[in-house]
């Protein structure tokens, strides 16, 4: 695997979490009272209501919940794609909720790999160019190395043979795999994946899950929204969203997951 061990957060300015710092699994992600209210023609709509959450480094967390329960909104808050109406979002020692748009883009490019629910590949770039884009944006690696790394990532998701095609020329499931490769381009410590297996057949979904498990074993932290309860049950921890509220979560031991034991994660 070409992925490096994840960068570890500094131990300086992260405020203590609701459940206190833990010696072995300091929170990588910490949400305090996060509320998101959308203003709609029908009036205010609360997509997230007072979310308190900590995710330790090296955690593999699945978020489940019905359509409309707030899974994508939660991911958008952590990635800084959207801002909370109230509350705080910390990733390592970065107050994501406070960053300016410019700083957000740079921070996100290096720290967070996002697999969007609807892929969001750039249609005018080839597959390999899409995977190189985060490296180009953040000036990571030399231009020649970027292509080599992008091809290696495409091999990881079995898409190398499609490298020179445009996204329109590959299937939805193939686009999803390219989006996963792109999310890993800058070797981010945190991967946020929104329905990463939603368009995949079960064999390919298993392969993506296995890739995520290897990433977690290599020190990455993964938060994955999914409708697939079998996959969710195999993550280390499962969060359940109902109408924008976390109604409970569990730390699940797993027979098939390499990586740190479920006890390293603590429900908030």
Stretch that binds ligand ATP, among 60-68, 138-146, 151-159, 206-214 (CB under 6 A): 60-68
Contact 157, 100 (CB under 8 A): no
Q: Residue 23 and residue 162: Cα distance in Å, rounded? A: 44
Of positions 68, 143, 248, 258, contacts ligand ATP by CB under 6 A:
68
Q: Does 40 bind ligand ATP (CB under 6 A)?
A: yes
Q: Does 45 bind ligand ATP (CB under 6 A)?
A: yes
Tokens of residue 230, six digits: 């079998």
Binding flags for ligand ATP, 192-231, as an x/- string (CB under 6 A)? ----------------------------------------
Q: Does 76 bind Mg ion (CB under 5 A)?
A: no
- Total residues at interface with ligand ATP (CB under 6 A): 13
Q: Does 41 bind ligand ATP (CB under 6 A)?
A: no
> Distance from CA of residue 196 to its chain's centroid?
10
For 85-118, letters b (16+ CB in 10 Å) and e give eebebbbbebebbebeeeebeebbbbbbbbbbbe
Stretch that binds Mg ion, among 47-55, 113-121, 149-157, 182-190 (CB under 5 A): 113-121
Q: How many other C-beta atoms can be found within 10 angstroms of the C-beta atom of residue 39?
A: 9
Token pair 């795999």 in the structure block, residue:
177
For residue 109, which of 79, 82, 147 has the smallest C-alpha distance? 79
Residues in touch with ligand ATP (CB under 6 A): 38, 40, 45, 47, 65, 67-73, 117
Residues in touch with Mg ion (CB under 5 A): 71-72, 117
């Amino acid at each position: 695997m070409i992925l490096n061990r994840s960068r570890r957060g500094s131990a300086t300015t992260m405020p203590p979490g609701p459940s206190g710092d833990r010696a072995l699994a300091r929170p990588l992600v910490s949400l305090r009272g996060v509320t998101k209210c959308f203003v709609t023609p029908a009036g205010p709509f609360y997509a997230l209501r007072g979310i308190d959450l900590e995710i330790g480094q090296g955690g593999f967390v699945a978020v489940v919940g019905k359509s409309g329960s707030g899974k994508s909104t939660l991911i958008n808050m952590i990635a800084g794609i959207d801002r909370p109406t109230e509350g705080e979002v910390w990733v390592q020692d970065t107050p994501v909720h406070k960053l300016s748009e410019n700083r957000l883009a740079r921070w996100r490019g290096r720290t967070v790999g996002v697999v969007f629910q609807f892929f969001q590949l750039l249609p005018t770039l080839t597959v390999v160019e899409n995977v190189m884009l985060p490296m180009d944006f953040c000036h990571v690696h030399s231009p020649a190395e970027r292509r080599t790394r992008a091809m290696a990532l495409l091999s990881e998701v079995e898409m190398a043979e499609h490298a020179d095609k445009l996204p329109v020329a590959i299937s939805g499931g193939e686009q999803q795999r390219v989006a996963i490769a792109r999310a890993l381009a800058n070797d981010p410590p945190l991967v946020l994946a929104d329905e990463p297996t939603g368009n995949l057949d079960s064999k390919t979904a298993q392969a993506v899950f296995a890739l995520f498990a290897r990433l977690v074993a290599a020190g990455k932290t993964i938060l994955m929204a999914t409708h697939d309860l079998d996959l969710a049950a195999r993550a280390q921890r499962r969060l359940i969203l109902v109408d924008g509220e976390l109604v409970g979560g569990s730390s699940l031991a797993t027979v098939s997951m390499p990586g740190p034991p479920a006890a390293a994660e603590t429900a908030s």
